[in-house]
Amino acid sequence: MYTITVTNQNGWKNKGNTSSRSNCKCGSWKNHWEFFSNKNLSLQKCSLLGCSNPAEQAAHVFRSEEGMYEWLVPLCRSCNHPTNEEYFSLKIGAVLVNANKAETCE
């Protein structure tokens, strides 16, 4: 499964410390999100509930109920806090791309 859409807006967390993680074969995580969603990330709005800024980055997020499974979601720079341990809410319908390289591009 390459993409899902957000159906449960609560309980998301930033994966954290992903800046040191090497990019995938797509060249960047933004490219990876665009390739598998078939959308232009820069034309999306930030996926954080309540934020209307344009999206700028593909952030690694997960929901603990879903077994730490990692997804990429478009966020604006000011909403992407990799070290933030707090839960946040995403917009219903936001497009999430599978961040597992072995299941996608490699």
State the residues that interact with Zn ion by CB under 5 A.
24, 26, 32, 46, 48, 51, 53, 76, 79, 105
Closest to Zn ion by CB, 4 vs 26, is: 26
Nearest-CA neighbor of 98 among 56, 55, 69? 69
Closest to Zn ion by CB, 62 vs 65, is: 62
Contact 62, 12 (CB under 8 A): yes
- At its nearest, how many Å lie between Zn ion and the CB of residue 97? 9
- At its nearest, how many Å lie between Zn ion and the CB of residue 78? 6
Q: What Å distances lie between residue 9 and 60, 88, 95, 103, 106, CA to CA? A: 16, 8, 12, 24, 29
Cα distance from N-terminal residue to C-terminal residue, the chain: 14
- At its nearest, how many Å lie between Zn ion and the CB of residue 47? 8
Closest to Zn ion by CB, 23 vs 65, is: 23
